[in-house]
Amino acid sequence: MSDAGLLAAVAVLLGAAAARELPLGRILADLGQRVSLPALLPRKLACALAGGAVGLLAAPAAPGRTAILVIAGLPLAGFVAPDALRERRARRRHRRLLRALPDALDLLAVSAGSGRGPAAGIEQLARAGEGPLAEELRMASAELSSGVPLGAALETLRRRVPGSEVATLVAAIERSRKFGSPLADQLRRQASALRRDSRRATEERAARAAPKIQLVVALVLVPSVLLMIAAGLIANAGTLLAGF
């Protein structure tokens, strides 16, 4: 995010916080999740130094030439670790957002069916909801309250949230605004499709888990049982061989 964009976002959020009496700490927390802070580089350097120290301690115990790999690899791993953790948090946040999206679409469909506009439905979800999706909707609602047109706020929301799910929601709202197509029906269909895709993904994960469980049984449980049997035979070998 550029300096000009950051200042504009701060101005929008501060104005929205004052106009809607939102907690300023929560608004700034929402913004902080999207700003690439300059403190990330010192954190990466600190992790690299920590990895180097661990590498120097662990290198003498490494066999052969692997000590060189340990000394070189651990600082590199420490340097990229903050990025990996950040990406992991971003993926987990995106999954939580997608899990909350079907219920939000149903609520927006109810709001649209009662004659309320998309902006009112977004504001209601932003006020009542919790989690990543509610945070994104609070950003959009803050922009709307500060005078940003609905189309521009939705486009900003689409750019902030990767993936086709929110893009489909934005496209449905835009079609309804431009062509007058029933918004509630589109939102309900999208919610049903998302739930269907979620069930299919869960079934696929369950199907992939079965071979992994069988591998664990074959490599861990069966050998452990055989070792117990062998230990019992060895312990009683004198008794078993007494008759020979």
pLDDT tens digits in sequence order for the chain, 244 residues long: 444 444 444 444 444 444 444 444 444 444 444 445 566 777 878 888 888 888 778 777 777 777 777 778 888 888 888 888 888 888 898 889 989 999 999 999 998 888 888 888 888 888 887 888 888 888 888 888 888 888 888 888 888 888 888 899 999 988 888 888 888 889 999 999 999 998 998 888 888 877 878 777 777 777 787 888 888 777 777 676 665 5
pTM of the model: 0.65
> DSSP 3-state assignment of 146?
coil
> DSSP 3-state assignment of 39?
coil
Nearest C-alpha neighbor of 129 from the set 157, 96, 151:
96
Query: Given this model, what pLDDT does residue 189 score?
Result: 92
Query: Given this model, what pLDDT does residue 102 score?
Result: 92
Beta carbons of 134 and 157 less than 8 angstroms apart? no
Positive or negative torsion for Cα 8, 9, 11, 15: positive
Spatial separation of the C-alpha atoms in residues 141 and 126, rounded to whole Å:
7
Contacts of 15 (CB under 8 A, 6+ apart): 145, 146
Nearest C-alpha neighbor of 96 from the set 71, 120, 130:
130
Helices (H), 33-149: 40-58, 66-113, 118-128, 132-145
Query: Given this model, what pLDDT does residue 12 score?
Result: 47
Cα–chain-centroid distance for residue 187?
A: 23
Beta carbons of 76 and 60 less than 8 angstroms apart? no
What Å distances lie between residue 134 and 66, 101, 141, 162, CA to CA? 49, 10, 10, 16
Q: How many CA atoms lie less than 13 Å away from 60 in the CB half-sphere?
A: 3
